[in-house]
């Protein structure tokens, strides 16, 4: 019996490994045929709890293709809120992508306040007046908390994408954002109604938080196997990246 259990365990591990290998092999080709609108609207990538460059690297690389978007800047936010910039490309009308890396990356409400400094810099240093937010897990919490601030930065948020987010402790929006379109993506592993961490019922809470305060709201379930839509793999997913690019850049 023990011998049989051992081989079953090996078999399951191999299935997961081969599944992950196949998913990763096709991920960066997900937007190969994509063509979209090119603008100076910057897309800020907001990592989840404990997130860092590794959390955002795959999505950044997939989006950063000549016909999709350009990884122009990376914002590094120190614990005290000071923002330093790493510039990789000139900021042009080529859908600049800006990963935001917080040194204190486990306090979404504080990160939301620090995000004001990031956006102020984008406005004054790089003349960015419109932005999109893409937040994985508590990155969505950061975005919602920012939208509830009494004194946000002088930029317009046009799109918000939440990926596997559950919004603990977030109050409904109190301000009107008539230009803001919201896409909420949630993972569902096979027939289980969650992504291994966030239940669909928790992800659906976003509807009640933004309803009546934004231009549009759309909820979509990303179905797949463990190696495709598990919570920490949602930002490694080609189908997720296609949904994001289509929503943000409206292909021709």
| pLDDT tens profile 223-246 | 999 888 999 999 889 999 999 999
> Position of tokens 């998913």?
23
- Per domain, the residue ranges of the chain are 2-249
> Position of tokens 């943000």?
248
User: What is the C-alpha to C-alpha distance for residues 2 and 222, in angstroms, rounded to an integer?
Assistant: 37
What is residue 14's predicted lDDT score, i.e. its pLDDT?
A: 53
pLDDT band of residue 32 (cuts 50, 70, 90) is confident
User: What is the C-alpha to C-alpha distance for residues 233 and 23, in angstroms, rounded to an integer?
Assistant: 10
Find the mean pLDDT for residues 154-175: 95
Count Cα neighbours of 32 within 13 Å in the Cβ-side half-sphere: 5
pLDDT band of residue 174 (cuts 50, 70, 90) is very high
pLDDT tens for 60-80 read: 999 998 889 999 999 999 999
Whole-angstrom Cα Rg for the chain: 18
Tell me the pairing of strands 177-189 and 214-224.
parallel
Find the mean pLDDT for residues 92-102: 97
Question: 2-249 domain in CATH 3.30.420.40?
Answer: no
According to DSSP, the residues that pair with 44 across neighbouring strands are 98, 133
- Greater pLDDT, 117 or 9: 117
What is residue 143's predicted lDDT score, i.e. its pLDDT?
A: 97
């Amino acid at each position: 019996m023990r011998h049989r259990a051992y081989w079953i365990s090996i078999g399951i591990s191999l299935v997961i490994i081969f599944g992950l290998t196949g998913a990763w092999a096709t991920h960066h080709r997900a937007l190969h045929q994509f063509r979209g609108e090119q603008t100076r609207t910057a897309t800020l990538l907001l990592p989840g709890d404990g997130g860092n460059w590794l959390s955002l690297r795959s999505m950044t690389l997939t989006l950063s293709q000549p016909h999709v978007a350009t990884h122009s800047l990376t914002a590094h936010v120190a614990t005290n809120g000071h923002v330093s910039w790493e510039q990789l490309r000139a900021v042009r009308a080529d859908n600049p992508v800006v990963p935001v890396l917080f040194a204190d990356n486990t306090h979404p409400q504080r990160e939301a306040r620090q995000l004001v400094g990031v956006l102020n810099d984008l406005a004054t240093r790089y003349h960015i007046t419109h932005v999109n937010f893409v937040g994985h897990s508590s990155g969505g919490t950061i975005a919602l908390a920012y939208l509830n601030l009494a004194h946000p930065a002088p930029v317009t948020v046009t799109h918000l994408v939440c990926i596997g987010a559950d919004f603990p402790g977030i109050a409904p929006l109190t301000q009107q954002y008539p230009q803001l379109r919201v896409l909420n993506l949630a993972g569902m592993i096979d027939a289980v109604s969650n992504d291994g961490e966030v239940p669909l019922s928790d992800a659906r809470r976003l509807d009640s938080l933004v309803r009546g305060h934004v231009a549009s709201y759309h909820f979509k379930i990303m179905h797949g196997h463990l190696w495709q839509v598990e919570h920490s793999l949602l930002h490694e997913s080609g189908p997720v990246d296609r949904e994001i690019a289509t929503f943000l850049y409206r292909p021709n």
